[in-house]
Amino acid sequence: MLLFKTILQPRALYLRYQSSWGFCLIRKCRMSSVPLAAICQVTCTPDKEANFAACMRLVEQAKEGGASMVFLPEGFDYIGSNQEETLKLSESLLGNTISRYTQLARKLGIWLSLGGFHERGEDWETDRRIYNSHIIINDTGSIVSVYRKGHLFDVELTGKGVSLKESSFTIPGHSLMPPVQTPVGKVGLGVCYDLRFPELSLALLRHGAEILTYPSAFTVATGAAHWEVLLRARAIESQCFVMAAAQVGCHHAKRSSYGHALAVDPWGEVLGDCGATEPGLALVEIDLQKLRDTRRNMPVQQHRRDAMFYCSLD
């Protein structure tokens, strides 16, 4: 049995439904030639097969809704219950998981942003460490960019129950990747904790980014405090769209995620929010004319001083 509910938000009408197996979709009713992108929200577990099935349904429904590109969150492949399991389940880019996603992209003719893949490092056989990798696949099933997360989440918030040391098993990426031209705009790649470092977003902006993407698995405590305000800040300061797919809910006994997969426009307006409870997706228009108008009317980048000005206190 399906439960239907309409949600009226500024400039958009959404249709939401929830089935007995807990999946929900937010579909935007529209009459426009502006390209659509889909931000997705999932609850991944150590079960890689179930995770792929859930993500595949989201991608298929995004395609049915008219999306040209789909954004999946950090840990879309799995979220392990401990370090040993996390490492054991990891794969290379040539493994079964990415192969299945390249086939899916090719079959549906859709671009995919796969943010936060557990990629085995070059020296896996000796050091058993991985990268946290953001992969872009085009509509012919080819990998066109791989960004390896540069800022690792080593945080101990004892009063809030947050204790993670990503660097104990993850290798930090060595460099940023140039923004990728896609059907929805030029996409600059980040992953989760990268969101807290505006230097990254401004570097991507300087190289032509129109969309910043931060696939994430934010903790409940840090998400409630910082998630939306950080995403809107990155959008406003860079005058870019921001697409932030997210994990939601309980992954296993030791970990839960905040949810609220979010899309933000260059003025800082929230275009889509998947909420805090269920898997789902939001279809949003990426109106690059609005981006150009925002940058023309408030030419922040033209007002930016040269690097020496900002280093003058050093």
Q: What are phi and psi of 239, to 5 degrees?
A: 55, 45
From residue 276, how far is each of 118, 219, 269, 291, 306 by CA, in Å? 25, 12, 19, 28, 41
> For this structure, is 192 an active site residue?
yes
Q: 24, 40, 44, 74: which is the annotated catalytic residue?
A: 74
The closest alpha carbon to 138, from 187, 90, 80, belongs to 187
Inter-helix orientation angle 228-238/198-206, to 10°: 30
The CB-based long-range contact list for 229-234 (8 Å cut-off, 24+ gap) reads 230/195, 230/196, 231/195, 231/262, 231/264, 232/264, 232/268, 232/270, 233/198, 233/268, 234/195, 234/198, 234/201, 234/264
> For this structure, is 274 an active site residue?
no
Q: Parallel, antiparallel, or unpaired: how do β-strands 36-42 and 67-72 relate?
A: parallel
The closest alpha carbon to 115, from 208, 282, 246, belongs to 246
Q: Which two tokens stand for residue 70?
A: 């789909």
Q: 24, 44, 55, 149: which is the annotated catalytic residue?
A: 149
Q: 40, 44, 192, 240: which is the annotated catalytic residue?
A: 192
> For this structure, is 149 an active site residue?
yes
Active-site residue list: 74, 149, 192
